[in-house]
Every structure is written in C-alpha cells, then in structure tokens.
Amino acid sequence: NAGVTQTPKFQVLKTGQSMTLQCAQDMNHNSMYWYRQDPGMGLRLIYYSASEGTTDKGEVPNGYNVSRLNKREFSLRLESAAPSQTSVYFCASSDIAAANTEAFFGQGTRLTVV
C-alpha cells in the first residue's frame, strides 16, 4: 500500500523559478490537502480540495496555485518561488465521509529557494 506519494522529495530552486509538486493517493479518498511545515511550527494549510473538481484556500495560500487533476492527484504549483517559500511541504488525503477517520500524510517535499 503506497498511501500518499509525493514527488519530488527534495528540490532546490532559484528565486523566481517555478515548479509543481505532485501528490497522488491510492486510498480512494475524496479530500486532499497541501500543508507547509516551517521550523518550530506546526503544519499550516495552504489549499485543500474537498472533492474532485473543487479547490479552496487555506490559511496561507499566497504564492501558490493548485490543481485537482482527478480523484487521485492534487498538485501544488509555485509560479515564482521566493525564499519565504523554503519549507517542507506535505500532501494529505482523507475520507471525510467516514466519521471516525483521520488525514493520512505523504513523506514530504523539502524545498529550498535560494
């Protein structure tokens, strides 16, 4: 069982470059999420997708865009990377229709913007 798979695992970008972080889940979950984790802080929600075809902003959406490509895949795009976007990015998925459940997280993408 792969669960939630993120690519790449590591990335270094120069300021102003663009890139897309990929996320795929094989648990048939409807909802998917992108979080960022900065040192000494908990995770903060960037964007989420409650179901295929819908996306919405989270707590820190500025500088990011997302695409829910299909039920399995949810990508995060940085159009013009800035040093403040240096962080570890986690994708998660969840079956919100099930009452007693939690979000499952990918392994993370460590992004450095220089």
Partner 1 sequence: ELKVEQNPLFLSMQEGKNYTIYCNYSTTSDRLYWYRQDPGKSLESLFVLLSNGAVKQEGRLMASLDTKARLSTLHITAAVHDLSATYFCAVDLIQGAQKLVFGQGTRLTINP
Contact segment (CB under 8 A) with partner 1 among 13-21, 66-74, 77-85, 93-101 equals 93-101
Asked whether position 2 contacts partner 1 by CB under 8 A, the answer is no
CA distances from 20 to 3, 39, 66, 80, 101 (A): 20, 22, 9, 11, 29
Is 112 near partner 1 (CB under 8 A)? no
Given a contact cutoff of 8 angstroms between Cβ atoms, the answer to whether 49 and 31 are in contact is: yes
Rounded to the nearest whole angstrom, what is the least distance from the CB of residue 16 to partner 1 in the complex?
Answer: 28
* Residues in a beta bridge with 13: 113
Residues 42-61 that bind partner 1 (CB under 8 A): 42-45, 48, 50, 58-59
| The CA-based dihedral angle spanning residues 14, 76, 64, 67, taken in that order and rounded to the nearest 10 degrees | 140
Q: Interface with partner 1 by CB under 8 A: which residues?
A: 31, 33, 35, 40-45, 48, 50, 58-59, 90, 92, 94, 96, 99-108
